Each structure stands twice: as C-alpha cells, then as structure tokens.
Structure 1
C-alpha cells in the first residue's frame, strides 16, 4: 500500500518546484520506508523555500495535551518552525501547568492562535498537509487542517493533502453529529465522533460541502487501500501520532473513552494505557462492571484493576478502575460503549462524578448526551436518539468518499 507521502513525485512539478512551501506535519508522519515527511520533502527538493508548520504536541511530540508551543528556528532541522498550537491571546500564564484544565479551556474554543497567521501565510505558494489522524472527530489534527483550509479560501495558495489511512478502517461510523453551536478545536466538522473517513476525505468534505470549492485542493490518494482495512493490516509499523496514543488498541477505544476527559474520572492519562484504563479513587469498579456486563455488549471484555497515574488526574493516587479489552473490533462500538459506561458509573456514583459541562458537550457533539445521563435515561434510549442523523451521515458521505 502506498500513502500520499509515498507519491511526492506526482506533485513536484505543479506544487513544489520553485514554490514557497509550507509543510504541516510532525516527526511521526512517515512514509512506508520510515522516512519523515519533512525529510521526504527535503529529499525531493526543488522548492524555493520550506517552512515547517506544526500541530498540537510540537514537531517531535514532546509537548503534552494542553501545552502550547511557540514558533522558533530549528537549527538541527534547518527550517523555521511555525506553531499552529500557540497560546491564545486571551490567556495569561498561570504558572504551574494543569494540563487537564488547559486542554479543556484551550481546545473547546475556536481561536486565532490555531490558525496560520496572515504574515506567515503570505510567504506560501503551496501548503502541504501530512498528519496521521486516528479516526476520531476530536483529534485536533483535523481542526489544524480545516483551519488551514479556511485560511487559504479564495486565495491563490494551493492546498495539498497527502492522504493516509484511517486506522479504524473506513467503516461503521459511531456517535451523534457535531452541532454547529459546539464547533471548536475538537469539533471542526459536522461529523460523528468516529467518522470513518480518511484525512483526504475529510478535506474533501470541507471543500465540497462547507467551503463550496473555494480551496484550491489537491488530494494525493493512497493506492491499494480498502475501506475494511485496519492499520495493522497495512504492513507499516504503528508510529504513535501523539503522546497518549501509544497503540492501535488505544485508538480503537478512543472515540468513546475520550468522553471521560469531560469528567473528573481518570481516563488513564498518566499511565501506559491511556483511554484503556478508566477509574477514580472512589469508584466501585466491580459494581460498574457487573452492571455493564448485564447489557451483553458486543466485542468488549472488562476487567477490574488498580492503577496510579503519574500525571494528570489523581496524580500519585491509587484509582479503582476498569481495563477495557476489545475482543472483537468489528463489533465494538466505542461511543455506544461509553454511554453504557458513564450511565453505570453515574448510577452508583452520582455524588462523586463531576461533568465539565462545556468540554463534555463539545466532545460528545451535543448537550443532550450529558443531560440524559444525569437524568438516568436508558443507555439504549440515548443511543437510539441519534441513529437517524447517523444514518443520514452515512448517505451524505458517499459522494465525497475517495475509496
């Protein structure tokens, strides 16, 4: 299988040769031979100037979620690095860093600090985008791409997307669609949380359905990729796309368990199994597991565990928790699972669970999910409430699919 980055030669003449190029990528975006996208563009050469544009976590991924990144010149890389995850103008330095609070406050808004600044954008003839998405709407690399596309609308700047596989395959979207009034850096398109599109198809969705073809978009398609393929079937190694996405297994549970970020329950951040471990010091994990097992959910097995986060929520405290083991990824529905999980947790721990309302709603895509969990509505009724919009989405995306 060949990804977009493996076919740079096909765009060199029109989009790189003698052009001023801005490259949106990080060190974890690699071709099938393991070469970084930056080095691949350098190797092909021919450009007049090359500037590196970096997303959340910085180029080398050494910044945690919520940590803002400044622009600088990198002597080792030999390029100017312009950050697309800068500190918002409205925020003052708070001294010690609370990454959970910073993430909730920074990512649940749409802010100019995440856009390419006008003076920087004026330096480009072409912007090339090459980042690995994980198949989840709230993954901020999607918004980084959409904001860059918004910035080049109705300009003469070409926007080139080097397509990459959706690690979760291109099938079985899950969850409600994002409402317009909840758009933010973790929700830049009206799509479900598990969207089942490639990054190129997401760019196509924006350009055709929202921008009305006002971006000079070129998508370098993959070769030999099929919609039923999972990442571990591609013959290329997993290179963690962000600090808390260490394995494909993490990515599989992420479109559901990321909702836990919007509560005071630990999502396992600060352990070696983020999003696969869920818990808190006061949780009665055995009761929660027993309640969920009665629902006979497909494709998942739960184990009672203890864990101690070394950063993030409950740093250094022993948490009673749940280990989520996906036994059949083709049957497992991550968003439906987390509705059952949160409903069960709330049933036993309504006095101890706290929702960060705006952030939770921004992740979920609407405000009804949280309200209905708190009202103790049946998880099956909550899930049924968004099936109509999900079915409409499945029909809508047929015309923008590339594979």
Structure 2
C-alpha cells in the first residue's frame, strides 16, 4: 500500500474516533487489494501495544491466511486478559439460544467469558483492568442476528466503565440495500435493540458508529470507539466469509436466504434446522400441498430441532440462483396460505414473530390477506426515514 493510502486510512480512524462519521472515503475497489480490518495489523497493533486487552470474537475471527486473530495477537505480544464469547460460543458450536458456559481457551490459557444467557453485557468486574475491548466477529447484516446486540452491550459497558472499544471491520453479506419493517419501541429485545429495518445496509463497524453517534446506548452515553476500516471494500460487492457465522448458516446460500426465511422462526414452519439445508428450505406437517419433503433430526447445528422427527412439506430453495437485494416474503405468504391445522395457529403463541418483525403489523397484514406488494408499500416511509440516519454513517463506496 502506498504512502497516500496509509495516510488516508489513518486519517479515517482519527475522524471516526472524533465522530466525523459522515465522511465518505472512496477506496480502491480492486478485489486483489481487499483486506478486512483484521488483516490490517499495521493499523491496530500499535494501538494495542502495552495495553490490557479483552477480545470479543468467535470462530469467524480469522485473518486471510486463516490464522485465528487471538493466536496472532498472542504471537505479537499483545496482553489479552480475557475473551468474551457471543451467542453460539467461542468456537461457534452452540445452538441458537443455547446457554453458553464460561471456560478457558485450551490453546492459550486465556479465560473465556460468555456474553450470552444471563450475562449479555460485560460486568464492571469483568472489565476491571481492561484498557481496550477488541471486537472482531463476522456479522450478516440482519437486525435479528444477535452479534450487533452483543456489540451494543459491549459499547455500553465500555462507555460506563471508561474502556475503549475497537472494532475490526468485516464485510456485510447484505450490504448496499435496506429493507423490511422498522422496529418499534414496544418490540425491542435482544433480537432487535434499535429502530432499524430488518436489513440495514451497514458493516458492523459502521453500525457501531451509528449506535454511538445517534446516542442509542443506555442513558445516551457514548463509547470511546475506534474503527479499523477495511481496504478496497465496496458495499455492492459480495465477499465470501472465511467460516460459517453460526452453526445453521453454513454457507453463502443460507446467508443469502436468511433475512427472508428467519421470519418462519416465529411460526409453526421449520426453516430446516436439523437437516443438511438449514435456512435453505422451509416446511411443516401442515402445509401438505407444497412439494418438498424433509424430516428434521438432531445434528451438529441443532440438538433438538423444531418439529423434530416430523415429516414436513415445503420448498427447497438450496438452488435459488438470485443474489437477494431485498426481502422475499412470497415464501412466507405461500406457507401461510397453504397452512391447514385446526388446532394450532400459524404464528407461535409467544408472538416471537412480532419480535423478529419488530412490529405486530406484519403478522396482522398476513392474516388480513395483504399482498407482498401492499405489505412492502407500508414499509416505505420507515425506510426513507432510516435512510437519512444511515447515510451519515456510510464509510465505504455504496
């Protein structure tokens, strides 16, 4: 990288640090020059030197040569006091929603603290003596995928305890577009903490910058926040992930379909957990008019999958060719119209569907027989308002 490029990136970090997030820096989009934040140690190692560090990461915290970030930091004499693990655990092998235990990394001997279950936010004693929390996780750019919620809690704890948060940025597989209903306050939860649409079109580093800049942390506090940007990243391109972000997103196909199919998690319809095609198929025992058949069974990614052992009828989307740049709710409407079960409603009684949607309006629109076009039309105003916020925090070519 030439001297001008180095100066530009250092300037970007300084501007982010001081809150000038609206600056949009053009970057080299030649994929041969693309680097994640983790692959730019010349930017972050000097900032970590002689500091006491905690790392928030999982199995996706890899460098281009597949070196694990934690191992790289230890090799470079960075003092890591602890590792914080998000949903699915440090090695990414826990089921969705499964309680993740604390432990010790057997390779490095570093203590592992779970940030899932009862301890979603680092406690003051867990940050005692820490100078910087380094965050490096591959996200998928969808509101109900909980890594952005973990980042939010880490930033909040950092702000409250005077600890800096540094994010190594990574690509968003659903970048460059926004779609879906914007979350309303009454439906806030760990699967939706902020008033944003389902797909929000920001990298995880940009997202953290937005949370900080808009003062969305508790009591309006702001974290000391440093973003290590990617090199040569373009929001309209798609970059392969180095490892599966979670057990049931095993490949690009499942990641591509995830924003559209995850709504089924709030219904009596399986999304393929307990099969070879999680988030690539959908079906239930009560949609018998649909052509594809499968039976969920326990496996590595789902120890007790929904509809375990029951024959399901649905659709197989594993060969779906389109790179989705919008939510496809036709599958949801098709499943609803084909659902025939006199004893159980299509939507789960706990209304988890509404938490995923961020509103009860989508469920009511489906019940009322609204078309996909009518439903999407109702999202427009909310998306237009969010776009005004999003634009302030876009750092890469869009």
Q: Same fold (TM over 0.5)?
A: yes
Q: Which runs of 5+ in 2 are unaligned?
A: 1-33, 299-304
Distance 2:78 2:93 in 1: 30
Please give the per-residue CA displacement for 1:308-357, whole angstroms capped at 9, x wherever unaligned: 11131221222111012432215x522xx22x323232223254543124
Match of 1:119 in 2: 125
Q: Is the 8 A contact 2:124 2:161 kept in 1?
A: no
Match of 1:355 in 2: 347
After TM superposition, the score normalised by the length of structure 2 is 0.84
Note if 1:76 corresponds to 2:82: no
Match of 1:104 in 2: none
Match of 1:8 in 2: 41
- Measure how far apart 1:65 and its partner are: 0.9
Distance 1:402 1:183 in 2: 27
Note if 1:265 corresponds to 2:269: yes
Moved more, 137-146 or 321-330: 321-330
Match of 1:328 in 2: 322
Cα RMSD between the aligned structures? 1.8
Q: Is the 8 A contact 1:162 1:219 kept in 2?
A: yes
Q: Which runs of 5+ in 1 are unaligned?
A: 89-112, 287-303
Distance 1:229 1:349 in 2: 37
Residue aligned with 1:192, SS: coil
Q: Is the 8 A contact 1:19 1:125 kept in 2?
A: yes
Note if 1:368 corresponds to 2:361: yes
Closer, same or farther in 2 for the Cα pair 1:46/1:38, shift >3 Å? closer
Q: Is the 8 A contact 2:139 2:172 kept in 1?
A: yes
**1:3-402 alignment, distance < 5 Å:** 3-14=36-47, 16-47=48-79, 49-86=80-117, 88=118, 113-168=119-174, 170-210=175-215, 211=217, 214-232=222-240, 238-286=242-290, 304-311=291-298, 312-324=305-317, 325-329=319-323, 333-334=326-327, 337-338=328-329, 340-349=330-339, 351=341, 353-356=345-348, 357-402=350-395
Please give the per-residue CA displacement for 1:28-85, whole angstroms capped at 9, x wherever unaligned: 22111111111122122243x4311101111112211111112122333310001101
After TM superposition, the score normalised by the length of structure 1 is 0.83
- Measure how far apart 1:127 and its partner are: 0.3
Q: Is the 8 A contact 1:238 1:248 kept in 2?
A: no
Q: Is the 8 A contact 1:265 1:353 kept in 2?
A: no
- Measure how far apart 1:401 and its partner are: 0.8
- Measure how far apart 1:180 and its partner are: 1.8
RCO higher in structure (CA 8 A, sep ≥6): 2
Match of 2:12 in 1: none
Q: Is the 8 A contact 2:84 2:113 kept in 1?
A: yes
- Measure how far apart 1:18 and its partner are: 1.7
Distance 2:260 2:297 in 1: 23
Which has the larger strand fraction?
1
Q: Is the 8 A contact 1:231 1:248 kept in 2?
A: no
Aligned structure 1 segments of 4 or more residues deviating by more than 6 angstroms: none
- Measure how far apart 1:121 and its partner are: 1.4
- Measure how far apart 1:230 and its partner are: 0.6
Closer, same or farther in 2 for the Cα pair 1:353/1:231, shift >3 Å? farther
